Chains A and B, each alone.
Chain A
Amino acid sequence: GQNIDQPTEMTATEGAIVQINCTYQTSGFNGLFWYQQHAGEAPTFLSYNVLDGLEEKGRFSSFLSRSKGYSYLLLKELQMKDSASYLCAVRDNAGNNRKLIWGLGTSLAVNP
Chain B
Amino acid sequence: DTGVSQNPRHKITKRGQNVTFRCDPISEHNRLYWYRQTLGQGPEFLTYFQNEAQLEKSRLLSDRFSAERPKGSFSTLEIQRTEQGDSAMYLCASSLGSHGPPLDTQYFGPGTRLTVL
Partner of A45, one of B41, B43, B106: B106
Asked if B33 and A99 make an inter-chain contact with CB atoms under 8 angstroms apart, the answer reads yes
Residue B85 lies at the interface, judged by CB distance under 8 Å to chain A:
no
Cross-chain contact B110 with A33 (CB below 8 angstroms): no
Q: How far is the CB of B47 from chain A (nearest CB, A)?
A: 9
Interfacial residues of chain A within 53-88, with CB under 8 A of chain B in the complex: 87
Contact residues of A: prevailing secondary structure: loop
Contacts A43-B43, A98-B31, A98-B55; is A48 near B102 (CB within 8 Å)? yes
**Cβ of B96 < 8 Å from any Cβ of A?**
no
For the complex, give the distance between the alpha carbons of A110 and B40 in Å: 18
Give which listed residue, A41, A44, A48, A102, contacts B43 with CB less than 8 A.
Answer: A102
For the complex, is B25 an interface residue (Cβ under 8 Å from A)? no
Q: Which of A31, A48, A97, A104 is within 8 Å of B42, CB to CB? A: A104
Among B101, B104, B108, the residue within 8 A (CB) of A42 is B108
In chain A between 21 and 65, which residues have their CB closer than 8 angstroms to a CB of chain B?
Answer: 30-31, 33, 41-45, 48, 50
21 contacting pairs across A/B (C-beta < 8 A): A4-B42, A30-B101, A33-B105, A42-B108, A42-B111, A43-B43, A43-B91, A44-B108, A45-B107, A48-B102, A50-B101, A50-B102, A91-B101, A91-B104, A96-B55, A98-B55, A99-B33, A99-B45, A102-B43, A102-B45, A104-B42
Give residues in A with beta carbon < 8 Å to B.
4, 30-31, 33, 41-45, 48, 50, 87, 89, 91, 96-100, 102-105
Q: Which residues of B contact A (CB under 8 A)?
A: 31, 33, 40-45, 48, 50, 55-56, 91, 97, 101-102, 104-111
